[in-house]
A = this chain, B = another copy of it.
Amino acid sequence: MKKTIAMLPGDGIGREVMNGAREVLSVIAEQYGHEFNFTSGLIGGSAIDERGVPLPDETLELCRNADAVLLGAVGGPKWENQAPANRPERGLLAIRKELGLYANVRPVKAFECLEERSPFKKSVLQGVDFVIVRELTGGLYFGKPSGRSGSGEKESAVDTLVYTKEEVRRIIKAAFEMASGRRKKVTSVDKANVLESSRMWRETAEEVKKEYPEVELEHMLVDNAAMQLIQNPARFDVIVTENLFGDILSDEASVLTGSLGMLPSSSLSLNGLHLYEPVHGSAPDIAGENKANPLAMVLSAAMMLRTSFGLEEEASAVESAVQHVLNAGKRTGDLAAADEQVLTTEEMIAEIKESL
């Protein structure tokens, strides 16, 4: 198979973990007889530094000419005083919108060998295996108007939460599709007792449900979901929700596993060009120190192999290698217990390659 993969390392530890993913993918290509062509583009703070904007046109072009996009992480204190419209995160919001990445998918599944790192009791983690499907190109993130008016104590600031039926339907459909191949249960999270957009969301979920008679649908208020997620996480299969609720709930859920440095995500479009990135951020405090855990990036690459290229065997090989290395007690600093040996980013990647 011949594929072009756009790599956008971004800022901070993004570069280091992306290097790791590239090495792993090269081994896979060699072992399975594929040809992966890697291209590389700027996004976030590094793009601001070199091109003056967080998402240069050439980066978008590069993505559009690729079969899949891998993203590292963006942001850092260096760019904190930029005007809001020109911060690194804007690159992230812009690429989502430009590539139509409407569905962010985050699997949450505990690594048994990392359970001692979770703040949760073992009994709570038993059987946890769910996916959060977050709407990614609408809601408060993009609604107009968004701005200020007036002055002094009467100054007011406004943001707008807006969705069209079409936007809601496609994300809920994505969730039902996913649930069809899993345990057949969709939990749709909203705030329908307060928000009009949530009432439309709920109605639309009911409409979509009619097309999937074998999939169960439950509605849950977002405040209740924030509780259930950590009180009884094993009850969930597929959770679907709007952009900002998804932002909050998926970060909350990431704590369950005690392995934030291990969680991959995919952001899907309708046209087949998808983006994959680790859940963690750019971790400026350890950037450039060869300390970052590259496994979330490596597992994001595995998701790409499976979802974008249909390479199930190759994806599983990468995931097994990760599992094998963890089981052997190899850990980067974020996961190591006080008495355990700590691997560098490069050492961890070497271990993964060896296990492939």
Contact = CB atoms under 8 A, between A and B. Distances in A.
A158 B143 contact: yes
Contacts of A222: 247-248
Interface in A153-209: 153-166, 169, 191, 193-197, 199-201
Interface stretch (A38-46, A118-126, A317-325): A118-126
B200 A227 contact: no
Q: Indicate how many identical chains form the complex.
A: 2
Contacts of A160: 158-161
Interface of A: 84, 87, 89, 93, 118-121, 124, 140-141, 143, 146-148, 150, 152-166, 169, 191, 193-197, 199-201, 222-224, 226-227, 229-231, 244-245, 247-252, 254-255, 260
B223 A157 contact: no
A87 B141 CA distance: 29
A164 to B, nearest CB: 5
Nearest to A125: B119
Contacts of A163: 156-157
Contact of A156 (B121, B156, B164): B164
Closest A-B pairs by Cβ, 7 of them: A157-B200, A226-B252, A223-B251, A157-B197, A153-B166, A119-B124, A159-B161
B230 A252 contact: yes
A222 B249 CA distance: 10
Contact of A155 (B118, B164, B195, B244): B164
